[in-house]
Structure 1
Amino acid sequence: MNLAEGKKCARSWRITKDVGSDMAYPDLSARDAAAVREIDAKAVS
């Protein structure tokens, strides 16, 4: 068994190498950071 490379996303719990790539959401993967950004934008509108 091999361990996954990367860090654990705080939102999805997936292990990916892109966690922390978005400085606004340092604990999230790029995919989840984009989703949260979209949710936040809709909440403000």
Structure 2
Amino acid sequence: MGLDLQGTGSRHSMAWLEDFRRAIADIPEIVEAYRLTGEPIICSAWWCQA
């Protein structure tokens, strides 16, 4: 099953991005997260590993 969600943030600094990355990394059900530019925020799935 897949679910796509889109969210917005009022800040777009690298510090905010790192805080967001840490927050979602603690949720094992989230295996991928990308910015709208396509840049991965997190990706622990096998297809993301180089």
TM-score, normalised with respect to structure 1 = 0.37
**Structure with the higher strand share, 1 or 2:** 2
Answer with 1 or 2: which has the greater Rg: 1
Q: Which has the higher contact order (CA 8 A, sep 6+)?
A: 1
